[in-house]
Structure 1
């Protein structure tokens, strides 16, 4: 059975602690500001948080990644534990903060030791603009390593994917109002956890660790 536990890890150096604290403070303040200024009806559409029971499956649609390779979603997810975020490369508001958050999660991946490898996946929700080259630039911008990829589905598949990820039946609205949640999948490609808006990087790491050892 999957159990989520939250742990606090001491920092290993003063300079590293200061750097991570600054990043956490930036993300936390930005999330508070975004929540305070957003219309409540918009945030309602972003769906549920916490454990997903029963686990959900996304339609096995094709995506094109940052290298131009086309493959099924299941090929991205199976045999790996995956944290997914939705972004669009033309976004200049919350998406850069989401990139910084995934960068912070990426720094914590070496702390995870489990049965399955762990990866990050940024899903572009604007297929008309989220081309392979745009996705590649997105990853480069945040110094993504080999465990962090990006891909975008076909235009006709975007809305259904967003609805399944969020778990909400309310209207999605336009992509500028997309969720800033992170969605964690187990190695069987099942959605197991939906985060709050702008979660803590440590909490995402702990969920991924629990799934990797599940």
Structure 2
């Protein structure tokens, strides 16, 4: 049975390489996303990743080669989220308006918070939290390739809309904002602290107000 499954999987993947557009590859990436989010990059094994997808290790190796490549492809597959953030940021054309900072913050947080509405998508938000907090992340090029170009655009926008700040303020302000946003991917802690249930709209409003105030008055 295992031999037959491996043969079928190999024939389905004929041609080699990770083709993000195929349904099979998409399912492999989504299954791996949950394992990495739960176990971390170093904690996840290829066997765990294959079992989560219901395939053999050989198929993962066929499509992605290595665990590091599979990990990178998860973020590349989700790059549409950062593209949405780019689009919304670039739509803020007049940075002299009083509303510009609010619109920049909305462009930064809203596409990410949209992930929290789907139980499957929220795993990626949690994976981003892990990657952002992992000291070894710079070895994997995920942040440098897929997040830093967007980060620089947001920092430039903050520099224009918040002039006169000390050197380094805008870079640190961006990173602090990343920390606040990524922490919002887990609701279990707030559920244990809140006296009444909080709606997702509440989280969005509180997060937007918090980041905007920190940037404006920091």
Bin for the TM-score computed over the shorter chain: under 0.3
Using structure 2 for the length normalisation, give the TM-score. Answer: 0.28
Largest Rg, 1 or 2: 2
Using structure 1 for the length normalisation, give the TM-score. Answer: 0.28
Q: Considering fraction of residues, name the structure with more strand.
A: 1
Kindly indicate whether structure 1 or structure 2 has the higher relative contact order, using CA contacts under 8 Å at least 6 residues apart: 1
Q: Considering fraction of residues, name the structure with more helix.
A: 2
